[in-house]
Amino acid sequence: MDHMEKYPEIRWLGQMGFLLKTEKTTVCIDYFASPHKDRQVQPPVPAGELSGIDAFLGTHDHLDHIDHEAWKIWAVNNPEAKFVFPRKVTAAVLADGIDPAKAVGVNAGESVTVGDMTIHAIAAAHEFLDRDPETGEYPYLQYIIETGGIRIHHAGDTVRYEGMLPAIKAFGKIHVQLLPINGRDGKRWRRGFLGNMTFQEAADLAGEVGPDLVIPGHWDMFAENSADPEEFADYLDAKYPHIKCRIPSL
């Protein structure tokens, strides 16, 4: 990528968990930090040791995205941090003991600024958009984090839906995309797993958006809901060789 000095530090935390850090601001997105019997990988940073965070972001209220046990810990250990989440799940977040003054519920089309980062929300379709017809609120979100002219798209959990590409491209050049690649199928649906883009769909989305770099996520945590990131990287390279791919490691 050009002008690397302008890019924030990006650290993968497993699944769709990422830490974004500039000289002034650190945000933590979708970090699943609690023990679980089905985990294939352990949290790189124990929940109780994570400090100095300016904002914790959750894209939706599933265990591996809004980790309520960890949020309870972080509310104590990071008392100045904001917590950003879909407004539709406000009650569940406040039940974690989050200070209402630090709880920032957002909906698609809204933004919040934390330090030198601005977080823009767009809708996600975790199999379905599931928009509340009365409030217009979406339970699943994606975030575009903008800082110093750099835009990072964290797709949360989503499939492609009509209007999603224009919503992303409306922000201008996207420099980095963090995309789920684990896909979906009947077997997982029957077991209660809501699906995401397949690795091919994720690669094609990146091809249409045109970022400098793509980092695949949501492929490592659970054996029955995983994918091979090498397949994603190979497919991206075959169709869109101008886009760099980085398979992350803990």
pLDDT means per 10 residues, the chain with 250 residues, are 68 97 97 94 95 97 96 96 98 96 98 98 95 96 97 97 97 98 90 91 98 96 91 98 95
Domains by residue range for the chain, with CATH? 4-245 (3.60.15.10)
Q: 220-223 contacts: CB < 8 A, separation 24 or more?
A: 220/14, 220/15, 220/40, 220/41, 221/14, 221/15, 221/32, 221/39, 221/40, 221/41, 221/64, 222/38, 222/39, 222/40, 223/38, 223/40
Map residue 12 onto helix, strand or coil: strand
| pLDDT tens digits, one per residue of 94-134 | 999 999 999 999 999 999 999 999 999 999 999 999 999 99
| pLDDT tens digits, one per residue of 136-156 | 999 999 999 999 999 999 999
* Amino acid letter, 181: I
Q: Kindly tell me the sign of the dihedral angle through the C-alpha atoms of 190, 192, 196, 199.
A: negative
Instruction: Say what the pLDDT of residue 2 is.
Output: 43
- DSSP H helices in 111-228: 164-169, 186-190, 199-209
Are residues 226 and 182 in contact, defined by beta-carbon separation less than 8 angstroms? Answer: yes
